[in-house]
Amino acid sequence: MQWDIEADVVVVGFGAAGACAALEAAAAGSSVAVLDRFTGGGATALSGGVVYAGGGTPPQRAAGVTDTAAAMFGYLRTEVGDVVPPETLRQFCDDSVSMLGWLESHGVPFEGSLCPDKTSYPTNRHYLYYSGSEISARDVAPPAPRGHRTRGRGTSGGLLFARLAAATRRAGVQVVGQTKAVRVILADGRAIGVECRSLRGAPWWARTAHRLLHRAARKPFLYVPKAGRLMHRPVGWLERRYGRPLLVGAARGVVIAAGGFGGSRELLRAHAPSARGGLPLATPGDDGSGLLLGTAAGGAAALLDRVSVWRFLSPPPALLRGVLVDVDGKRICDESRYGAAIGDEIVRRGGRAWLFADQATITAARRQLRGSTLWFQRLQARYLLTFGRVTADTVAGVAAKAGIDPDGLAATVGAYNADPAHPGGEPAGPAGKPTDLAGKPADLVVAQDQPPYSLIDFSIRARLLNPAPVLTLGGLVVDHGTGQVLRADGTAVPGLYAAGRSAVGLCSRSYVSGLSIADCVFSGRRAGHHASAASEFTPADS
């Protein structure tokens, strides 16, 4: 085979997983080439830059937080379930402190400033927070804040990626931009290279237009996918018109780290129809091509129906005092749980949900608006507290306005307000009456009995000002010890690895903030390390 570029390890996709795979492979002494359809960054660069880590990290210790790997494992077990073997999860937790240190050694900054509120994303004053449902699950494992937000203003994923990208280049990795992988090349079933379409030889204006148009379409794609798709159309045309074949040889291994499939309407429709109405938490590059590259090479895919649908009730945190109900007026779950867990519960009930709140709660929420939100959260919260709710002086009246069962709502609100968990109520547990509010932190257990009453619409529907973001979690099946892509019969495709959202990983059952990027780091490093250690392919092998 006549290769245009050759390396020991070839990584497809330059987001968090690809950068971590490349860094690890380069550190192991391999020559590495990273291919990206655009210029890198992917969803990682648009993200909040939150990394789930614990077990006593330096930021946790600086904040005076006590945490252990065992407590982290205990909690994550409830989220991760059996999508990875227990020993893989244990290793992730045991290595968490050193993983954060590794990121810091590559220039990614963290800080132990603890956020006092339960929030979807802390403001620029705080960089450590409860990013999952740890408090709600405190009977299972001692809770600790493990959301480590990269220290940088705004959504700090851009900074996280910039630092990883700079480290990757410093490590001598060859980054080949504007190059789309279209096929994994196999020799006797072993991955030996990647066939690409590249704009490397295209006129400068075509390359510039391709770069700028993609960049301009990314944000609109997040908020108004139709507009983003329209703006991105010329990008595909430029690739078809000016793309030229490029063959990249991989002596030791190919790592697929090309993101998820949230940007593909076809794949979402086929595998995750429940995500309809949500906004894809993705870039146009998350078109599932990583998944398709792997399956075309013989790999199996799993958990494609697992999508994380986010429905955050906070900020402002006062809203967590309310009661989340379905169309029958029945309480849905502990309102303090993580937004993806709440989203899951809402989807399971047909996608419709409202938060019942009394006037005292609404007033407190309004007061918290400025101090507890970043601009995009403020916009959303303002909408919810004005146009996004209906009000009435009675419980039956507000139920009628929202179109939910008034008797069901009256029964739920009555039971909620009379629950023994309220301060001054009868003690809960074996000595007292059982409480439905178990799990909800005591400071959020506040009777909702001050009219007028509101029902805030938290249904999963496509709305610009209160979107339900959707993240795809499934992907290629991999060996959790090595990251090698597995066929349906459980055997490995030699030389082929997958990482990040192109693969099944730690967050593939349920997502909590930071667990996707943490998994990208964990699985990316694993794939890079093992690909590097694989025996070299020589033509005589074929």
Scan residues 258-277 and list those touching ligand FAD (CB under 6 A). 258-259
- Spell out the residues 6+ positions from residue 131 whose beta carbon is closer than 8 angstroms to its own: 50, 52, 145, 146, 147, 338, 512, 513, 514
**Rule CB under 6 A: is residue 93 a binding residue for ligand FAD?**
no
Residue 268 and residue 274: Cα distance in Å, rounded? 9
Mask 192-231, x = binds ligand FAD (CB under 6 A)?
------------------------------x---------
Q: Closer to ligand FAD by CB, 259 or 329: give it.
A: 259
**Rule CB under 6 A: is residue 16 a binding residue for ligand FAD?**
yes
Q: Closer to ligand FAD by CB, 76 or 404: give it.
A: 76
The amino acid present at 38, given as its one-letter code, is: F
**Rule CB under 6 A: is residue 355 a binding residue for ligand FAD?**
no
**Rule CB under 6 A: is residue 115 a binding residue for ligand FAD?**
no
Binding residues for ligand FAD, total number by CB under 6 A: 42
- Spell out the residues 6+ positions from residue 267 whose beta carbon is closer than 8 angstroms to its own: 261, 287, 288, 291, 304
**Rule CB under 6 A: is residue 500 a binding residue for ligand FAD?**
yes
State which of residues 8, 24, 36, 419 lies at the interface with ligand FAD (CB under 6 A). 36
Scan residues 240-259 and list those touching ligand FAD (CB under 6 A). 257-259
Q: Closer to ligand FAD by CB, 6 or 195: give it.
A: 195
Q: Closer to ligand FAD by CB, 221 or 354: give it.
A: 221
Exposure pattern of 299-314 as b/e (b: 16+ CB <10 Å)?
bbbbbbebbbbbbbbb
State which of residues 285, 388, 439, 474 lies at the interface with ligand FAD (CB under 6 A). 285
User: Cβ 397 to ligand FAD, closest distance in Å?
Assistant: 38
**Rule CB under 6 A: is residue 501 a binding residue for ligand FAD?**
yes
The residue written with tokens 């593939």 in the block is 508
Q: Are strands 323-325 and 354-357 parallel, antiparallel or unpaired?
A: antiparallel
User: Cβ 176 to ligand FAD, closest distance in Å?
Assistant: 9
**Rule CB under 6 A: is residue 143 a binding residue for ligand FAD?**
no
Stretch that binds ligand FAD, among 7-15, 92-100, 345-353, 388-396 (CB under 6 A): 7-15
**Rule CB under 6 A: is residue 343 a binding residue for ligand FAD?**
no
State which of residues 44, 120, 368, 454 lies at the interface with ligand FAD (CB under 6 A). 44
**Rule CB under 6 A: is residue 473 a binding residue for ligand FAD?**
no
**Rule CB under 6 A: is residue 439 a binding residue for ligand FAD?**
no
Please spell the DSSP secondary structure of 320-374, one letter per residue.
GGSEEE-TTS-B-S-TTS-HHHHHHHHHHTTT--EEEE-HHHHHHHHHHHHHH--
User: Cβ 267 to ligand FAD, closest distance in Å?
Assistant: 13
User: Is the Cβ–Cβ distance between 216 and 501 less than 8 Å?
Assistant: no
User: Cβ 336 to ligand FAD, closest distance in Å?
Assistant: 19
User: Is the Cβ–Cβ distance between 322 and 359 less than 8 Å?
Assistant: no
User: Is the Cβ–Cβ distance between 293 and 301 less than 8 Å?
Assistant: no
Q: Closer to ligand FAD by CB, 243 or 329: give it.
A: 243
Q: Per this entry, what is the length of the chain?
A: 542
User: Is the Cβ–Cβ distance between 200 and 246 less than 8 Å?
Assistant: yes
Stretch that binds ligand FAD, among 6-14, 111-119, 138-146, 405-413 (CB under 6 A): 6-14
**Rule CB under 6 A: is residue 286 a binding residue for ligand FAD?**
yes
User: Cβ 445 to ligand FAD, closest distance in Å?
Assistant: 29
Residue 338: φ, ψ to 5°: -65, 150
Q: Closer to ligand FAD by CB, 30 or 44: give it.
A: 44
**Rule CB under 6 A: is residue 43 a binding residue for ligand FAD?**
yes
**Rule CB under 6 A: is residue 298 a binding residue for ligand FAD?**
no
Residue 451 and residue 245: Cα distance in Å, rounded? 68
The amino acid present at 37, given as its one-letter code, is: R
Q: Closer to ligand FAD by CB, 5 or 446: give it.
A: 5
Residue 275 and residue 269: Cα distance in Å, rounded? 8
Scan residues 168-187 and list those touching ligand FAD (CB under 6 A). 180-181
**Rule CB under 6 A: is residue 289 a binding residue for ligand FAD?**
yes
User: Cβ 166 to ligand FAD, closest distance in Å?
Assistant: 16
**Rule CB under 6 A: is residue 54 a binding residue for ligand FAD?**
no
User: Cβ 290 to ligand FAD, closest distance in Å?
Assistant: 6
- Closest listed residue to residue 76, CA positions, set 100, 96, 50, 98: 96
The residue written with tokens 């090309």 in the block is 258
Residue 23 and residue 17: Cα distance in Å, rounded? 10
State which of residues 91, 264, 361, 513 lies at the interface with ligand FAD (CB under 6 A). 513
Please spell the DSSP secondary structure of 116-185, one letter per residue.
SS--SS--TT--EE--SSTTTTTTTS-----EEE-SSSSSTHHHHHHHHHHHHHHTTPEEE-SEEEEEEE
**Rule CB under 6 A: is residue 278 a binding residue for ligand FAD?**
no
Residue of closest CB approach to ligand FAD: 15
Indicate the SS3 state at residue 285.
Answer: coil
**Rule CB under 6 A: is residue 40 a binding residue for ligand FAD?**
yes
Residue 355: φ, ψ to 5°: -105, 120
* Residues paired with 496 in a beta bridge: 254
30: left (phi over 0), alpha (psi -120 to 50) or beta: beta
Residue 356: φ, ψ to 5°: -85, 130
Q: What is the DSSP letter of 478?
A: B
User: Cβ 514 to ligand FAD, closest distance in Å?
Assistant: 5
User: Cβ 116 to ligand FAD, closest distance in Å?
Assistant: 20
User: Cβ 438 to ligand FAD, closest distance in Å?
Assistant: 29
Q: Which residues bind ligand FAD (CB under 6 A)?
A: 12-18, 35-38, 40-44, 46-50, 180-181, 222, 257-259, 281-282, 285-286, 289-290, 471, 500-501, 513-517, 520
